Structure 1
Amino acid sequence: MSTLIDIRDLTVRIDLPEGPVFPVRNVSLSLEEGETVGLVGESGCGKTLTCLSVIGLLGRRASIESGSVVFQGVEIDPDDPDDKRRRSRGMGIIFQNPMTCLNPVRTLGWQVAEAYQIRTGESRRVAQRRATELLDLVGIPEPKRRAADYPHQVSGGQQQRAMIAMAIAGGPALLIADEPTTALDVTIQAQILDLLARLQREIGMGILFVTHDLGLVAEVADRMAVMYAGRVVELAPADALFAQPRHPYTRGLLTSLPFLDDDIDRLTPIEGTVPPLHAMPPGCAFAPRCSQASPICSTPPDLRASGDGLIACHHGLKTDTVAA
């Protein structure tokens, strides 16, 4: 396999009235062709902003301060119109909530056809025919009839399937799935995960799967990247990370999960709170919440090799295990 996308030392800046903040800091992450990488962490840790930086959808106040994104071997220039077109054709994204992302005054078929036209440059007639085929591909029953429906006329699960059809229109090499099952019940979640796995096999795309649900990502990811306060703090094969978490934050996330064979009265939370963006500690952002913290933690740890993966910690956990 060859590297599909390589994010190198990515830092994102947001200009606020009280001054700039950096919600994504020195993030490095790569994804191979046909691979699924899970990007996990608490809400507000920078997962979505990392993805929006990659696909070029940052808002007016946000910008890439430093770092680079290399897609299919070519570094992306955010200001180059040709690179913007290359990203629009080679990348697709599934947003968190289809009810707020789909256009309420356009039919499902119109929206899927538009995505296909933008990526391929085909005529409207061809795009409309392909839209029906894509709705059928993602498992929407009676796709020709549903293509004429508006978002409010279908269920949440079918709205999400329509979003997936838009994301894969034109056969992107990279699919970014940003919390694609958050608004769905458990049964529909399982159907969407099965659908993404099938589409990945058929199309051969790489998937960056963003979630805060560790149990969910364990089912789909080949590798996992854990983010905290805007940085990747651990990266490892999914099985290895669940069996032997090496960063104290990863360990805290896993020990806070309930397991069916555990007989406990209360869950074990991570003490403390995530520091605000305007008041980050000078060293490791997790140090104020970490039982392993020592004076050396006032120096920012680099992401370095540890076991089967990478870890950004001066005190990597090497022996304790947590059962998946």
Structure 2
Amino acid sequence: MSIPVLAIDDLTVRIDPPDAPPVFPVRGVSLRVEPGETLGLVGESGCGKTLTCLAAMGLLGRRVAIAGGSVRVEGRQVAPPEPGRDGARTATLRHRRMAMIFQNPSGCLNPVRSIGWQVAEAYRLRTGAARAPARRRAVELLDLVGIPEPGRRARDYPHQLSGGQQQRAMIAIAIAGDPALLIADEATTALDVTVQAQILELLRRLQRETGMAILFVTHDLGLIAEMADRIAVMYAGQLIEHGPTAAVLAAPRHPYTAGLLDALPFIDEDVERLVPIEGTVPALDRLPHGCSFAPRCGRAGIDCAIHVPTLRGGPVQAACLHPLEAA
């Protein structure tokens, strides 16, 4: 069995607000991303998807820290640092072998640097290349991600590119240096449907050509169905369902996943209104005892208010005391 590109084990993230007790937006999350595969991480806004990714990348901000668990990249632990391990060397490993595409390309690109400069800088930082070969590689990468006239567009600034071209430039920056893992965090959310399809096809093509693994983060189950080999569903900071994408979407075992699917519109169905999930996601400082989804769940029993369920079953695993029947 191959070593996972990314192995997250029992990850817990703590936020320390000023003048308030700590909260835990990510609790006990474990994920594996194998070489060459796409894992889809899905859930509502605020469920902990992005914080999980930022923790893996070592990009947590002030007052946010990993409170438990570990992160390994290609078998080597990068968080928390192992005793006696050179912290700078660990950071370099993570920096060179992992890359992340963020949600808002216009807010992530430097407005006073050309696109070519930014791609070349990423390549230099990851590989140690000199300026001239880095500039040539930047043009090659812009061509690889489908930006027309890459030699000329490399001299353009972010405001001179369309939203789709900005996202392609972000992908070029991310893949500079051939990372083993690409984390795409809501990478197509702000794009129209046509450009979105182009970006998805670009990611699939790059994966075929380079063999990189992809952690594809979204709230859109339609994109997950199109992109992911496996799916992991998050709710209120915890993983609640996991399994092969086709199996989970065909017969979800957790009521929350089933509710997400029931709320989806289908073009071939004539319905007057969609079916929402009743209730709201609990606040981090007021999480219920037992199952976090119990207050919104029609299948919840007395035991759900007492016991915290863990993932169980197979091949589709669900953290539910009263799961739906498997197909």
Q: What is the TM-score with the length of structure 2 in the denominator?
A: 0.96
Contact 1:78 1:84 (C-alpha < 8 Å) held by counterparts: no
- Residues 58-96 of structure 1, C-alpha deviation per residue, up to 9 Å, x if partnerless? 111110000001110111144511111001100011000
**SS at 1:315 equivalent:** coil
Q: Deviations over 1:16-58 (max 9, x none)?
A: 0212110000001101100000000000000000000111111
Paired residue secondary structure (1:76): strand
Q: Compute the displacement of 1:189 (Å).
A: 0.2
Output the CA distance in 2 between the equivalents of 1:217 and 1:118.
Answer: 32
* Aligned-CA RMSD value: 1.0
- Cα distance, 1:261 vs structure 2: 2.5
Gaps of 5+ in 1: none
Residue 70 of structure 2 contacts residue 80 of structure 2 at CA under 8 Å; is this kept in 1?
no
Q: 2:45 aligns with which of 40, 43, 46?
A: 43
Question: How far off is 1:191 after superposition?
Answer: 0.2
Which residue in 2 is equivalent to 1:10? Answer: 11
**Structure 1: how far apart are the matches of 2:138 and 2:11?**
35
Answer yes or no: is 1:202 the counterpart of 2:209. yes
Instruction: Give me the identity figure in percent.
Output: 66
* Cα offset, 1:289, TM superposition: 0.2
Match of 2:258 in 1: 251
Is 1:301 the counterpart of 2:309? The answer is yes
Aligned counterpart, 1:150: 157
Q: Which residue of 1 aligns with 2:107?
A: 100
State which of 24, 31, 34 in structure 1 corresponds to 2:33.
31
1:230-269 pair list within 5 angstroms: 230-269=237-276
- Which residue number corresponds to residue 117 of structure 2? 110
CA contact under 8 A between 1:140 and 1:161: conserved in structure 2?
Answer: yes
The AA in structure 2 aligned to 1:231 is Q
Q: Which residue of the other structure, out of 279, 282, 302, is the alignment partner of 1:275?
A: 282
Give the letter aligned to residue 256 of structure 1.
Answer: A
Alpha-carbon contact 2:36-2:211 (below 8 Å) kept: yes
Supply the AA of the counterpart residue of 1:65.
Answer: A
Letter in 2 for 1:4: V
**Structure 1 outlier segments of 4+, above 4 Å:** none
**Matched residue, 1:22:** 24
The answer as to 2:229 corresponding to 1:222 is yes
Contact 2:253 2:316 in 1 (8 A): no
Q: What secondary structure does 1:164 align onto? A: helix
Shift of 1:278: 0.4
1:187 maps to 2:194: yes
Query: Separation in 2 of the partners of 1:115 and 1:315?
Result: 48
The CA deviation string for residues 218-256 of structure 1, in whole angstroms up to 9 with x for no partner, is 101000000000001000100001110000100000001
